[in-house]
A and B are shown apart, each in its own frame.
Chain A
Amino acid sequence: MSTATEPIDEILSKSYDAGFITDIEQEYAPPGLNEDIVAFISKKKEEPQWLLDWRLKAYRHWLKMREPRWAKVDYPEIDYQDICYYAAPKSKDDAPKSLDEVDPELLATYEKLGIPLHEREVLAGVAVDAVFDSVSVATTFRDKLSEVGVIFMSFSEAVHEHPELIRKYLGSVVPVADNFFSALNSAVFSDGSVVYIPKGVRCPMELSTYFRINAANTGQFERTLIVADEGSYVSYLEGCTAPMRDENQLHAAVVELVAHKDAQIKYSTVQNWYPGDENGKGGIYNFVTKRGLCEGERSKISWTQVETGSAITWKYPSCILKGDDSVGEFYSVALSNHRQQADTGTKMIHLGKNTKSTIISKGISAGHGQQTYRGGVKISRGATQARNYTQCDSLLIGDKCGAHTVPYVDVRNSSAQLEHEATTSRIGEDQLFYCRQRGLSEEDAVSLIVNGFAKQVLKELPMEFAVEAQKLLGVSLEGAVG
């Protein structure tokens, strides 16, 4: 009997909508990496000496490090001297002060992407920081946020306006020498977003950053830092796209979160970097270090990610549960189609007493896609009564893809409770036929089944993002939300 994968393949080979290139005047650093380039970037940003020293320290560490090869991803050697480490849209003013000063071409780009950059769209409740290649273009709604003391600005601005904040927290969760890619990022990062929520403040709106790589042969190295002070709450959204290009592009970001006592950070990502074409040509190499520190008692950090893009994904948003009674969560949907490879998961490091973590990972593999869940749960000696629940589900579409689950568990305290569940299933010809017999097109049937599979994670996303995730998965969420 036919396995009916051909029509599925057709559905999955839908084109990449965000693949346009913006024709805009760019300013580049020459390709290659050395101390001069690091200094060039720092100078461009008019950074203080301590930050340049910090970058150089990272760079020197990086020189001694080797690219990790333990992940189940296969890609040719990256020539780090062939990459451009700084590209910025050339603007008449070096830094646009308001939206009016932003290049209309750039705004058109964001509009094409459906990003709510203008105030009217911001009324929907999303404040946006948009990072185009290496620089932050506009941060909307800043005034309203500053009324309640929330700091939300680009990294370059924050370095000047709130140096004490940056100095205190930069590298405090992901140290410069943490890993090869984070060290590289620390040396050359060009921009990103900084968020600070003061004590007891519930951030009045969702904060959002959109990242876009536009320039060719350019790496994007952005840095995000979110600090939630005691008793505060913030929900932060991150979206990413890139044009279609035949060359691979490197993206190595670092995200650091710090949640103090009783604070909560909800961090959601919809990652739609260009995945390459169906033969695996082009696409983004996404090597990202994301880590959150639950510093205070009863703090909570929740990662939700929908990963549909990138040729290679290497990403493990993690939580260090230091404060007693702190909570870490990781909800993930990752889709690998065509020749995409994703090695993603999380680490939950339990240090405090009564710490709890939940991991829900949903991997969808289609075409020749390869998908690996790699997760670590560590219960330290002092983490009395720690608990973890892990659930890893894989869905296979067609018979040329792969799904792998690699859970690591390290328990040093006998009072810990850990649960692990894993399933692998396949979209069956019988499921598709059942849906079609009821009148649904094959495309809608695949969407429906994938949506059902990912529902547990999608419902964790804020509404605005759920809509985008729905589009990305080609799925209607009408029944899943509400």
Chain B
Amino acid sequence: MLKIENLHVEVDGKPILRGIDLEIDAGEVHAIMGPNGSGKSTLAYVLAGRDGYEVTEGRVLYKGHDLIELAPEARAAEGVFLGFQYPVAIPGVSNIYFLKAALNAIRKHRGQDPLDAIDFMKLSKEKAALVQLPDDLTKRSVNDGFSGGEKKRNEIFQMAMLEPSLAVLDETDSGLDIDALKVVAEGVNALRGPERAMLVITHYQRLLDHIVPDVVHVLIDGRIVRTGNKDLAKQLEADGYAQVRDGMRP
């Protein structure tokens, strides 16, 4: 599904990612853990195609094709979804209208007819239930005045609606209390499937108690320094990143 080879990325001329290799197959959930400033969000943005993140070396293949040359909306249409760490508000645009426009833009790209209002409402009701998103939130302006937890639930709701092939979830646990975390994690787990790959980016191990990954990578200073199974996350939680970083030193 996703193959990252020797990826180097600069932001404002400053190297952030320095040679990432990563391969995720369909059906797998990978977690990326790392301290602040290690390049986790940069990786998420570069996969989604944000301006200002310059690939200086290496390549990213998605379903066998070069991902980097695609515009963000083309990537979305091809099934790349980014769950934002800080979802932005769009005042005056209803959440549900936004999503309908997005879904139908993606369907158009795929050569499908737009969903009509009735089918769309049916689908959105079903998916909103997945993350227990209250009805009024679907009608309110996109993320406008949402609490931290509501924003994150809304991200997972959007993911459920857009049914991506590759979902990158950037710090989906930040700002969530334990109950909200469970709801969000259950929503994510419900979307796991043999056709879908997920990359879960997190600072803390606790999210991974609820979304159990197949593979855990540790990202430090723009490089993946350790790769292991879910136990690696637990070990990190116990020992801290310093231990891993120290372990890197010759």
Give the interface of A toward B (CB within 8 A). 1-2, 4, 428-431, 433-442, 444, 448-449, 451-456, 476, 478-480
Q: A4-B51, A479-B100 are in contact. Are A441 and B73 (CB under 8 A)?
A: yes
Residue in A1, A428, A434, A476 whose Cβ sees the most chain B Cβ within 10 Å: A434
B72 engages A437 (CB within 8 Å): yes
Give the interface of B toward A (CB within 8 A). 11-12, 48-52, 71-73, 75-77, 81-82, 84, 87-88, 90-94, 96-103, 105-106, 109, 141, 158, 162
Q: A1-B11, A456-B92 are in contact. Are A438 and B162 (CB under 8 A)?
A: yes
Residue in A438, A442, A451, A454 whose Cβ sees the most chain B Cβ within 10 Å: A438
Q: Which residues of A contact B98 (CB under 8 A)?
A: 435, 438, 448, 479
In the bound assembly, the distance between CA atoms of A442 and B73 in angstroms comes to 8
B77 engages A439 (CB within 8 Å): yes
B102 engages A439 (CB within 8 Å): yes
Minimum distance in angstroms from A214 CB to a CB of chain B: 37
A444 engages B51 (CB within 8 Å): no
In the bound assembly, the distance between CA atoms of A438 and B105 in angstroms comes to 9
Minimum distance in angstroms from B86 CB to a CB of chain A: 8
Q: Which residues of A contact B93 (CB under 8 A)?
A: 448-449, 451-452, 455, 479
Q: Which residues of A contact B73 (CB under 8 A)?
A: 436-437, 439-442
9 new A-B pairs (CB below 8 Å) besides A435-B90, A440-B102?
Answer: A434-B84, A434-B87, A437-B81, A438-B102, A448-B90, A448-B101, A456-B92, A479-B96, A480-B94
Minimum distance in angstroms from A454 CB to a CB of chain B: 7
Q: A439-B73, A442-B73 are in contact. Are A428 and B88 (CB under 8 A)?
A: yes
Minimum distance in angstroms from A459 CB to a CB of chain B: 10
B88 engages A430 (CB within 8 Å): yes
A440 engages B92 (CB within 8 Å): no
User: Per a CB cutoff under 8 Å, which of A431, A454, A455 touches B88?
Assistant: A431
In the bound assembly, the distance between CA atoms of A433 and B49 in angstroms comes to 9
In the bound assembly, the distance between CA atoms of A58 and B192 in angstroms comes to 77
Q: Which residues of A contact B77 (CB under 8 A)?
A: 439
Find the B residue at minimum CB distance from A2.
B51
User: Per a CB cutoff under 8 Å, which of A1, A451, A480 touches B51?
Assistant: A1
A438 engages B76 (CB within 8 Å): yes
B105 engages A433 (CB within 8 Å): no
Q: Which residues of B contact A440 (CB under 8 A)?
A: 73, 101-102, 105
In the bound assembly, the distance between CA atoms of A480 and B92 in angstroms comes to 8
User: Per a CB cutoff under 8 Å, which of B76, B97, B103 touches A436?
Assistant: B76
Minimum distance in angstroms from A419 CB to a CB of chain B: 19
**Chain A contact residues: over half helix, strand or loop, or mixed?**
helix
B51 engages A439 (CB within 8 Å): no
User: Per a CB cutoff under 8 Å, which of A431, A433, A456 touches B72?
Assistant: A433
B97 engages A433 (CB within 8 Å): no
Minimum distance in angstroms from B146 CB to a CB of chain A: 13
Q: Which residues of A contact B90 (CB under 8 A)?
A: 431, 434-435, 448-449, 452
A433 engages B106 (CB within 8 Å): no
In the bound assembly, the distance between CA atoms of A197 and B76 in angstroms comes to 55
A1 engages B52 (CB within 8 Å): yes
User: Per a CB cutoff under 8 Å, which of B75, B106, B141 touches A452?
Assistant: B141
Q: Which residues of B contact A437 (CB under 8 A)?
A: 48-49, 72-73, 75-76, 81-82, 84
B12 engages A1 (CB within 8 Å): yes
User: Per a CB cutoff under 8 Å, which of A428, A442, A444 touches B101?
Assistant: A444
Residue in B87, B100, B101, B105 whose Cβ sees the most chain A Cβ within 10 Å: B101
In the bound assembly, the distance between CA atoms of A453 and B50 in angstroms comes to 24
A478 engages B76 (CB within 8 Å): no
Q: Which residues of A contact B106 (CB under 8 A)?
A: 439
Residue in B73, B94, B106, B162 whose Cβ sees the most chain A Cβ within 10 Å: B73
Minimum distance in angstroms from A360 CB to a CB of chain B: 12
Q: Which residues of A contact B52 (CB under 8 A)?
A: 1-2
In the bound assembly, the distance between CA atoms of A434 and B158 in angstroms comes to 12
Find the A residue at minimum CB distance from B96.
A479
Find the A residue at minimum CB distance from B53.
A1
User: Per a CB cutoff under 8 Å, which of A438, A439, A452 touches B92?
Assistant: A452
A455 engages B76 (CB within 8 Å): no
30 contacts between A and B (CB under 8 A): A1-B51, A1-B52, A4-B51, A428-B88, A430-B88, A434-B88, A435-B90, A436-B49, A436-B76, A437-B49, A437-B72, A437-B75, A437-B76, A437-B84, A438-B76, A438-B98, A438-B158, A439-B109, A439-B162, A440-B105, A444-B105, A448-B98, A448-B101, A454-B92, A455-B92, A455-B93, A479-B96, A479-B100, A479-B101, A480-B92
Minimum distance in angstroms from B143 CB to a CB of chain A: 9
Minimum distance in angstroms from A455 CB to a CB of chain B: 4
Q: Which residues of B contact A453 (CB under 8 A)?
A: 91-92
In the bound assembly, the distance between CA atoms of A429 and B50 in angstroms comes to 9
Find the A residue at minimum CB distance from B71.
A436
Find the A residue at minimum CB distance from B104.
A439
Minimum distance in angstroms from A219 CB to a CB of chain B: 38
Residue in B82, B84, B103, B105 whose Cβ sees the most chain A Cβ within 10 Å: B105
B97 engages A479 (CB within 8 Å): yes
In the bound assembly, the distance between CA atoms of A480 and B93 in angstroms comes to 8
Minimum distance in angstroms from B111 CB to a CB of chain A: 14
In the bound assembly, the distance between CA atoms of A448 and B101 in angstroms comes to 9
In the bound assembly, the distance between CA atoms of A1 and B10 in angstroms comes to 11
Task: Give the top 8 A-B pairs by smallest Cβ distance, nearest first.
Answer: A479-B97, A452-B92, A452-B93, A1-B52, A438-B102, A439-B76, A436-B72, A439-B106
Q: Which residues of B contact A4 (CB under 8 A)?
A: 51
Q: Which residues of B contact A429 (CB under 8 A)?
A: 51
In the bound assembly, the distance between CA atoms of A449 and B141 in angstroms comes to 11
Residue in B12, B90, B158 whose Cβ sees the most chain A Cβ within 10 Å: B90
In the bound assembly, the distance between CA atoms of A438 and B155 in angstroms comes to 10
In the bound assembly, the distance between CA atoms of A440 and B49 in angstroms comes to 13
In the bound assembly, the distance between CA atoms of A435 and B91 in angstroms comes to 13
Q: Which residues of B contact A442 (CB under 8 A)?
A: 73
Find the B residue at minimum CB distance from A447.
B101
Minimum distance in angstroms from B96 CB to a CB of chain A: 7
